Amino acid sequence: MNIARRIIVALDFDNVDDAEAIVDRLGDTGQSYKVGLELLTVAGPTLATRLVGEGKDVFLDLKLFEIPTSVAGAVRAAGRLGATMVTVHAMGGSKIMEAAVRAAADFPQLHVIALTVVTSLTDTDLAAIGLSATIEEQVTRLTRLAQRAGCHGVVASPQDAALLRAELGPDMLIVTPGVTLQAEWNPPTEHARPAHPAAAIRAGATHIVIGRSLTRAPDPAAVLAHLEDELGSCQRPTT
């Protein structure tokens, strides 16, 4: 797998102009992009359609958590759009994930990725919603559930990547948000369990998602090119 496509640039913007400006500045260096709920609500499918048309990978981070019929419909819409990944909430249970996987079957490029535990949460947060499990226990439980449901991979903290790679074996995807660069322009992170991109790849992640610590850099294309070189020397073999 091309290392450039394993680095997913998060277009976490509240307007389409800023998102398109980053895409234009990255040019051929940027090969994969995350479009989340905020940008999709603001821009509709137009930007995602443009990216697909330019040969980019599009990760629709929708975090679907609905009745199975609605989830399946949203996954089919993502497939028709040309997305390469779409997220569903593993906490929605097996029926939701199985419906998503069935819906994605008609779109060979589309991978269903199950969100385990949102990376901003801590053990205390789980306890507050009535879960006695630790983050590690809950991530492991939901990962097993996602694997049995046929999902193509999971979203998890980079600090969970080594544990999950051992749990999942070599084939499933592990997508890790919460990776940050050490730089003066880097804003405070909302992720409770962050890590450097190289640490995530070494731990077994197949993809990293990087946002403001790259998109706010003075020269995002140069930072991304340097990151691709760095990760190319430490990546694990992937399917």
- The CATH number covering residue 226 comes to 3.20.20.70
pLDDT in tens, 45-77: 999 999 999 999 999 999 999 999 999 999 999
Predicted pLDDT of residue 12: 92
Which tokens sit at 162? 């080594």
Domain that holds residue 198: 3-232
Decide if 16 is inside a domain.
yes
Closest CA to 233 of 188, 196, 201, 206: 201
Predicted pLDDT of residue 151: 97
DSSP annotation string for 126-184: HHHTT--S-HHHHHHHHHHHHHHHT-SEEE--GGGHHHHHHHH-SSSEEEE--B----T
Which of 34, 56, 63, 95 is catalytic? The answer is: 63
Question: What do you get for the CA distance between the two ends of the chain, in Å?
Answer: 7
84-93, 108-117, 195-204: least confidently modelled range: 195-204
Decide if 118 is inside a domain.
yes
Predicted pLDDT of residue 194: 52
Predicted pLDDT of residue 95: 97
Predicted pLDDT of residue 94: 96
Decide if 238 is inside a domain.
no
Q: How confident is the model at residue 187 (pLDDT cuts 50, 70, 90)?
A: low
Predicted pLDDT of residue 78: 97
Decide if 122 is inside a domain.
yes
CA distances from 170 to 27, 167, 234, 239 (A): 32, 9, 16, 8
Please name the residue ranges forming H helices in 11-134.
16-26, 37-43, 46-53, 68-81, 94-104, 123-128
Which tokens sit at 65? 């958590």
Decide if 207 is inside a domain.
yes
pTM of the prediction? 0.89
Predicted pLDDT of residue 172: 94
Please check the confidence at residue 239 and state whether its pLDDT lies above 50.
Answer: no
Predicted pLDDT of residue 15: 94
Decide if 237 is inside a domain.
no
32-36, 112-116, 118-122, 143-147: least confidently modelled range: 118-122
pLDDT in tens, 188-218: 554 444 568 888 899 999 999 999 889 999 9
Domains of the chain: total: 1
Predicted pLDDT of residue 192: 44
Decide if 21 is inside a domain.
yes
* Distance between CA atoms of residues 15 and 136, nearest Å: 35
**Is 63 an annotated catalytic residue?**
yes
Decide if 58 is inside a domain.
yes
Predicted pLDDT of residue 179: 84
13-27, 104-118, 221-235: least confidently modelled range: 221-235
